[in-house]
Chains A and B, each alone.
Chain A
């Protein structure tokens, strides 16, 4: 079953002056439970593709269907709601809410989803335990290491039980140990809970862990390999 169906996606910047095709006629399907890495050099269009799949950016041409919903047809408010319920995001710079503790960050989306307190607490505890960050629950992001922050970010993305998680270069700011630890956790979540992950990366360690690797060059799919 396809969670994501992207058909003939095109993203053109400056269409009226000097057009730049960041993504050029890309079509791809992502199935439930995949652990996919979108790789390519800087400026190849990885992040743009990820943004369009995640409903953060709109394609110039083509369409994106997530879990049967054509997201380009949704208005901004509907799209925001759709992202909250269906897509988990992990960013390169962790992007936790600085004034909230680790636990509050994890519970934040569940609060927006109006999930009751008991369910929120048990879900956040479960995730913190799986991520190995239980002892940091009361600390704010500024008191956490980069690796810990990114694990909190993954837990936050998983908290709302999304259809898939989009991670834009999640290991770019991490050292080797933190990277390996994070990748192990994500791989475990993928295997044990069948969570779908889509990464954009040029980190070889992430590529090595991925079960499917889609290579993008100059906005086009150059190769699509399943291991």
Chain B
């Protein structure tokens, strides 16, 4: 208690310096938290979008499908209909028939990603019904077209689109479908090419009755992916299918995230280095200006170990105070942006979309972001605290008393 009291009073001996040091630590924490919250929020969003629109957390395919994404590598839907899934683990399981076709309207033609889906289940997975900007959701005979594609083809609700493709086992696939609605997607790639239609209609178009290309599973707890994947392995093998998780299906997404994450980390480390020098400066001053006092304390009988303990407490308190300042300042702001993500409009939005990114910056409130910064700063302070500890250890009383 004595040392705690002494340490507390000592850090407030020089109020201005304490505030400056704590503020610099607080700024580092604030900046790091804000940046990491933005990074992790974006990653979570990217993963969530990709998982929902492309792969699911887990997907069941014909064994050869992922190597060669051909319609001919689809499988009979009836194979997975017998699969009993634990509703506590699996939120929703969605059948999809996905392939490409040429979409034409008047003199315009463009490649389109045709998705045959179950309208109800798909809405649960991708909230497709919420992406409608015009028209109505799938009723049975029409298609939903992504906004970018619709703009390119200059079509609107009520117009008729013509699709031409190669169907299942090489049959010719051609058909005309009324546009029932226009969808706006957060993922630019989808926005330029996606077409959705009911699964039976897609199967009919491709001449692939009863065939799907994937059965996507969305987990309630993404932590259980590996466990569920293992439990489905036996079933998949028996039916000549394979179960893949999203990381296996989209390694480039994971690599992109990792590269960006480490890039951000380098920035934060540079910031920590700058702040670290500031903290070291304070520790140097704290030690230098108190050399005489330490000399007196040792003279009257206080052991160096006890002085070191007292100074270590001062360092801890100062750091804790700074970290607290940073967290208190950063939490409300990240909380605000978590609920109100930054959305770009106009040219900025287009620039983002041209790079294949959603024009929005979401934030994360993952507790790890907050306490990891505190721990990092604490480790830096403790590391820098070695200097005053050594200075006290090597203190010469007579020299100190002459300071």
Contacts and interface: CB of A to CB of B under 8 A. Distances in A.
B300 A99 contact: no
B6 A51 contact: no
A51 B398 contact: yes
Interface stretch (A27-35, A64-72, A84-92, A171-179): A84-92
A57 B13 contact: no
A81 interface: yes
Contact of A99 (B10, B296, B297, B302): B10
B368 to A, nearest CB: 38
Contacts of A97: 6, 293, 297
Given A91-B296, A95-B296, A111 B2 contact: yes
B301 A84 contact: yes
Contact of A112 (B301, B304, B398): B301
A77 B13 contact: no
Contacts of A85: 301
Contacts of A108: 300
Interface residues of B, number: 19
Interface in A47-96: 51, 54, 56-57, 76-77, 80-81, 83-85, 89, 91, 95
Contact of B303 (A77, A89, A98): A77
Interface centre among B293, B299, B302 (most CB of A within 10 A): B299
Interface string B365-403: 000000000000000000000000000000001100100
Nearest to A57: B398
A149 B10 CA distance: 19
Contacts of A57: 397-398
Q: Dominant SS at the A interface? A: helix
Q: Dominant SS at the B interface? A: helix
A213 interface: no
A98 B13 contact: yes
A198 B97 CA distance: 100
B299 to A, nearest CB: 6
Contacts of B301: 80-81, 83-85, 109, 112, 160
B298 A80 contact: yes
Given A81-B301, A98-B293, A99-B9, 20 more contacts: A56-B401, A57-B398, A76-B304, A80-B298, A80-B301, A80-B303, A84-B302, A85-B301, A89-B299, A91-B296, A95-B296, A97-B297, A98-B13, A99-B6, A99-B10, A99-B13, A100-B6, A111-B2, A112-B302, A157-B300
Interface of A: 51, 54, 56-57, 76-77, 80-81, 83-85, 89, 91, 95, 97-100, 108-109, 111-112, 156-157, 160
5 contacts: A56-B401, A57-B397, A80-B302, A80-B304, A81-B301
Interface of B: 2, 6, 9-10, 13, 293, 296-304, 306, 397-398, 401
